[in-house]
């Protein structure tokens, strides 16, 4: 694609990156076939290629974002299926991130939308705030039929009740069982600790059972992805730098073999820290170290080659594995989870159209509830055709999105692996 940035514009490192990405696009349109919004809506501007044109015009003109550009960029799920499909290697992820930053800086949204975005950015990355918000939403949930649009979407997604905070989600070290085979840090995260604390508990039990010492580092918290995808780059860099400092301190201290992430959306973000801080002299090396250490929990377990001998009574339990977009497209991890579940004794299948997003996409299901609902229904129908007894996935957003939409419990992959190898049966299976 031909671009027309001036030399002054290209002096901006972000524009220089955008220019390289745009020039890599050859207009082939392969991305349209696998883009969820194009598949649903059939609008060229709701395809990666169409959004690339819109962002190119916006950035070249150095103009404030207009309503049309904002509407179509907002509809992008950042599922990154287009990057898997693209034969030219167009790094759409970095382009749309920069486009959203420009929108955030130049476009004034309607008041109600600004309020929702502020509330989400203020609460979700901070577990105590998020817990308080969900408590209020849970009380209002029975009245959700009185609401519509984004307000109803938030109430629909709110759990009926919240359990107590887990004792594992505070800075501490969990000793390996038996001889220590390795030492890792666990990103315990933000929203997951409130909605599904059992996932971190299962992860720690499983890793320590396999001889891995697990540390929850002091100072680590939200990965920064939520605000990053809203174009709030300064906030995302602040959250990311706190994690980098915490994990580098552990690495420089007793050492780390990996940074384990059990939410694939967070994993995609952490693995991109090196790019995010490429122009920051104080963090460029540290961020690159952290990105190199980051591993999805299934990725790390597969490399360990654990002997996942099933000890639970799970003969042939039918598991449909839903691969989150951030796993298969963002991190290009496709086989470990299914292989691990099979080795643990489960009968594993995958749904048709596995490349298409379920509609969760961080907070997309709140900000774009109509499209998210259609994608959820499509995903649920594909899952139903596999007749699962349980659905497994590696991302809390997908678990929240699909729970209630499919006629089977939805759990995290590590919950099943933990159960199969001596841990408790996941509560949702009861």
Instruction: Using CA atoms of 364, 190, 196, 397 in order, give the dihedral in degrees to the nearest 10.
Output: 20
Is residue 165 domain-resident? no
Considering the domain architecture, whether residues 356 and 390 belong to the same structural domain is answered as yes
Nearest CA to 221 among 245, 208, 239, 197? 239
pLDDT at 302: 93
pLDDT at 314: 78
Considering the domain architecture, whether residues 135 and 245 belong to the same structural domain is answered as no
Is residue 167 domain-resident? no
pLDDT at 228: 97
How far apart CA 250 and CA 256 sit, in angstroms, is 7
How far apart CA 10 and CA 15 sit, in angstroms, is 6
Considering the domain architecture, whether residues 289 and 221 belong to the same structural domain is answered as yes
Predicted confidence (pLDDT) per residue in 375-420, tens digit: 999 999 999 999 999 999 999 999 999 998 999 999 999 999 999 9
Contact 260, 185 (CB under 8 A): yes
pLDDT at 311: 74
Measured in degrees and rounded to the nearest 5, phi and psi for residue 81 equal -60, -35
Convert the chain into a string of H (helix), E (strand) and C (coil).
CCCCCCHHHHCCHHHHHHHHHHHHCCCCCHHHHCCHHHHHHCCHHHCHHHHHHHHHHHHHHCCCCCHHHHHHHHCCCCCCHHHHHCCCCCCHHHHHHHHHHHHHHHCCCCHHHHHHHHHHHHHCCCHHHHHHHHHHHHHHHHHHHHCCHHHHHHHHHCCCCCCCCCCCCCCEEECCCCCCCEEEEEECCCHHHHHCCHHHHHHHHHHHHCCEEEEECCCCCCCCHHHHCCCCHHHHHHHHHHHHHHHHHHHHCCCCCEEEECCHHHHHHHCCHHHHCCCCCCCHHHHHHHHHHEEEHHHHHHHHCCCCCCCCCCCCCEEEECCCHHHHHHCCCCCHHHHHHHHCCCEEECCCCCCCCCCCCCCHHHHCHHHHHHHHHHHHHHHHCCCCCEEEECCHHHHHHHECCECCCEEEHHHHHHHHCCCCCCHHHC
Predicted confidence (pLDDT) per residue in 295-328, tens digit: 999 999 998 877 777 776 777 899 999 999 999 9
Measured in degrees and rounded to the nearest 5, phi and psi for residue 116 equal -65, -45
Considering the domain architecture, whether residues 233 and 290 belong to the same structural domain is answered as yes
How far apart CA 241 and CA 219 sit, in angstroms, is 10
Is residue 95 domain-resident? yes
Considering the domain architecture, whether residues 147 and 77 belong to the same structural domain is answered as no
Q: Which two tokens stand for residue 430?
A: 């009861």
Q: In degrees, to the nearest 5, what angle opens at C-alpha 280 toward C-alphas 279 and 281? A: 110
Considering the domain architecture, whether residues 233 and 191 belong to the same structural domain is answered as yes
**Average pLDDT by consecutive 10-residue portion of the chain (430 residues)?**
95 97 94 96 96 97 96 97 96 97 97 93 95 85 78 79 90 96 95 95 97 97 96 97 98 96 97 97 98 97 79 83 97 94 93 96 94 97 97 96 95 96 92
pTM of the predicted model as reported, rounded to 2 decimal places = 0.94
Considering the domain architecture, whether residues 129 and 239 belong to the same structural domain is answered as no
Considering the domain architecture, whether residues 325 and 411 belong to the same structural domain is answered as yes
Is residue 1 domain-resident? no
pLDDT at 141: 77
Range of the domain at 293: 172-302
Considering the domain architecture, whether residues 215 and 312 belong to the same structural domain is answered as no
pLDDT at 213: 98
What's 271's domain CATH number?
3.40.50
Residue in this structure with the two tokens 């039990």, named with its chain if needed: 205
Q: Which two tokens stand for residue 282?
A: 């104080």
pLDDT at 313: 73
What's 67's domain CATH number?
1.10.1060.10
Is residue 166 domain-resident? no
β-partners of residue 173 are: 215
Q: Please state the domain count of the chain.
A: 4
Considering the domain architecture, whether residues 315 and 285 belong to the same structural domain is answered as no
Is residue 94 domain-resident? yes
pLDDT at 145: 76
Considering the domain architecture, whether residues 83 and 58 belong to the same structural domain is answered as yes
Is residue 2 domain-resident? no
pLDDT at 367: 94
Residue at which a domain ends, from 91, 124, 157: 157
Considering the domain architecture, whether residues 360 and 420 belong to the same structural domain is answered as yes
């Amino acid at each position: 694609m031909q671009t027309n940035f001036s030399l002054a514009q290209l002096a901006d490192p972000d524009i220089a990156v955008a220019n390289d990405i745009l020039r890599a696009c050859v207009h082939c349109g392969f991305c349209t076939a696998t883009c969820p919004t194009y598949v649903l809506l059939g609008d060229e501007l709701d395809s990666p290629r169409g959004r690339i044109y819109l962002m190119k015009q916006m950035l070249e003109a150095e103009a404030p974002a207009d309503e049309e550009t904002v509407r179509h960029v907002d509809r992008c799920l950042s599922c990154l299926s287009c990057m898997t499909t693209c034969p030219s290697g167009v790094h759409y992820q970095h382009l749309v991130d920069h486009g959203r930053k420009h929108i955030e800086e130049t476009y004034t949204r309607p008041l109600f939308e600004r309020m929702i975005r502020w509330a989400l950015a203020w609460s979700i990355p901070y577990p105590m705030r998020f817990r308080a918000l969900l408590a209020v939403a849970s009380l209002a949930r029975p009245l959700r039929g009185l609401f519509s649009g984004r307000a109803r979407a938030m109430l629909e997604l709110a759990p009926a009740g919240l359990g107590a905070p887990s004792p594992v989600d505070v800075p501490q070290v969990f000793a390996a069982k038996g001889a220590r085979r390795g030492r890792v840090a666990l990103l315990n995260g933000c929203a997951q600790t409130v909605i599904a604390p059992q996932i971190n508990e299962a992860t720690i039990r499983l890793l320590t059972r396999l001889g891995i010492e697990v540390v929850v580092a002091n100072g680590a918290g939200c990965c920064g992805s939520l605000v990053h995808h809203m174009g709030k780059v300064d906030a995302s860099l602040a959250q990311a730098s706190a994690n980098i400092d915490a994990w580098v301190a552990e690495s420089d201290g007793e050492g780390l073999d990996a940074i384990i992430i059990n939410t694939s959306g967070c994993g995609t973000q952490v693995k991109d820290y090196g790019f995010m801080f490429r122009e920051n002299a104080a963090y460029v090396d540290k961020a690159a170290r952290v990105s190199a250490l980051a591993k999805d929990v299934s990725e790390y377990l597969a490399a360990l080659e654990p002997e996942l001998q099933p000890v639970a009574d799970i003969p042939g339990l039918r598991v449909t594995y839903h691969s989150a977009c951030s796993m298969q497209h963002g991190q290009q991890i496709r086989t470990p989870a299914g292989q691990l579940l099979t080795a643990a004794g489960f009968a594993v299948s995958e749904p048709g159209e596995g490349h298409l997003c379920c509609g969760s996409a961080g907070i997309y299901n709140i900000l774009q509830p109509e499209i998210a609902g259609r994608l959820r229904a499509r995903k649920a129908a594909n899952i139903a055709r596999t007749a699962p007894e349980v659905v497994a996935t590696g991302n809390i957003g997908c678990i929240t999105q699909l729970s209630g939409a499919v006629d089977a419990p939805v759990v995290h992959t590590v919950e099943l692996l933990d159960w199969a190898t001596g841990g408790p049966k996941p509560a949702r299976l009861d």
